[in-house]
Structure 1
Amino acid sequence: MNKPIGVIDSGVGGLTVVHELMRQLPKERLVYLGDTLRCPYGPRTAEEVRRFTWEMVDFLLTKNIKLLVVACNTATAYTLAELQEKLSIPVIGVIQPGARAAIKFTTNNHVGIIGTEGTIRSNAYLDALHTIKSDIDVYALACPAFVPMVEKGILSGDYALDIIAQTLLPLKQFSNMDTLILGCTHYPLLKDVIQEVVGSQVTLISSSEETARETSTILELQQMLNEENEQCNHQFYTTGDVEIFTSLTNRIFNSSIDNLKSVSIEKVVI
């Protein structure tokens, strides 16, 4: 089926999922929308997150997508069930794949989660982990400074190291942790610094690979894979500054991207 896969995120973090989708599904066209203008979603109310997410979804539905990937943990936590119920296309979030990967990699059942305030407040990862394995020991920590740092392009260096080290200090009390879920798609862009802070004995879990794998499985089961060999013309949209978005995408893909446009998706709230 030669329709595109739609991917939404609160900013640029979801591009880590896009990168993995491109690697695992090279024949598939992708349409990405990052709501960089209103990022971060973490401090927002559940109703704001829900409204912003639907505005992104409504935009991508005009692109005739065959499947939607919600590449934002906060949006997944608050809207996934509703999206799956109301949309006629498959909808995949990033929380369940990340939880499954963490359970696969932990050897001692001590799993940490870092995410935005909204994601941690929702207990979505906690519920997902305990649904799969009830006796797992979980420690969750909100890291509100991380997403703004990534959106500004601060991914390494002394400043990033200081902020990350200070933010993750509470994890030291969870000394048996052997696995840490990066519960925000922005966080893999800080992976090297986070690894330095928590130590090499801790396995970092990014849901990007698992989400792409789940997408591939669903497309295959529903016979929706694109069998054509034509060149994929991916489309990228941002609600914010194109130059900042381009700078960050260059870091993620190690090359420039084509077909990038700035769009307005906000609806008038009465």
Structure 2
Amino acid sequence: MSSTDAQAPLPEDAPELHRPRRKGIYILPNLFTLAALFGGFYAIVMAMNGQFEQAAVGIFCAMVLDSLDGRVARMTNTQSAFGEQMDSLSDMVSFGAAPALIVYEWALKGMGKLGWIAAFVYCSGAALRLARFNTNIAVVDRRFFQGLPSPAAAALVVGFIWVVTDAGYSPQTTPWLIWLACALTLYAGLTMVTNIPFYSFKDVSFKRTVPFIVIVAIALGIAVITIHPPIVLFAIFMFYGLSGYGVFIVKWRRGRPVSVISTSTDEPDEEGLHR
């Protein structure tokens, strides 16, 4: 074939050649994820400038946004592998690295090597917990988390800082706060990598009808939080951070399985319990 023939135009009735379509990303759920990531980044910047109350607010805002992105994706049918990976990376920054850096700047820096080791234990615990969650997602009873979820762990650490700072205390004026912050950081970090079951609230459906009293209870709950957000929020997450051990003890005393991991998802008793 000559070069002239090779460059001849295709006939009009020849099939049109289509380029492979580029894969896009869904905007709505990833906007929530990016906003949660910004909350974690904002908290780090505020801690570096000594504004620890604002840092705590940034983490709690990130928690709210993180709880919405997955629900928005499911409600709008915009789930994607990209969104899942983005969510995990955002969680690592907002609920892993950010709380560790905040508590280190606030109190642990004065402990020397022990301080940064405690902060690293928390940060590595968050990373391990997120990695385990992603790999075990198909075999975990969805009613429970395996170990303390990273947003709740972050709420324990920064919530404590928020309460103490709001009360006018600091590690510089009250040295024993340093040891309490260290103990709480280690507790949160290590509890994330345990097998203790924590209720996930994932079996709560927002599409079902509820009695009128439930709406009244929600309104009262919001009113209670607004009375004094630092104390109320920290008390709620402190109770939740201990509740898993209560569930573990109750299950163990009743002789029921305490692990939320199942080796099979085909058993009749486990139908609907897994993702």
In which range does the TM-score fall when normalised by the shorter chain? under 0.3
Structure of higher RCO (CA pairs closer than 8 Å, 6+ residues apart): 1
Of Structure 1 and Structure 2, the greater helix share is in 2
Which of the two has higher C-alpha Rg?
A: 2
**What TM-score results when the alignment is normalised by the length of structure 2?**
0.26
**What TM-score results when the alignment is normalised by the length of structure 1?**
0.26
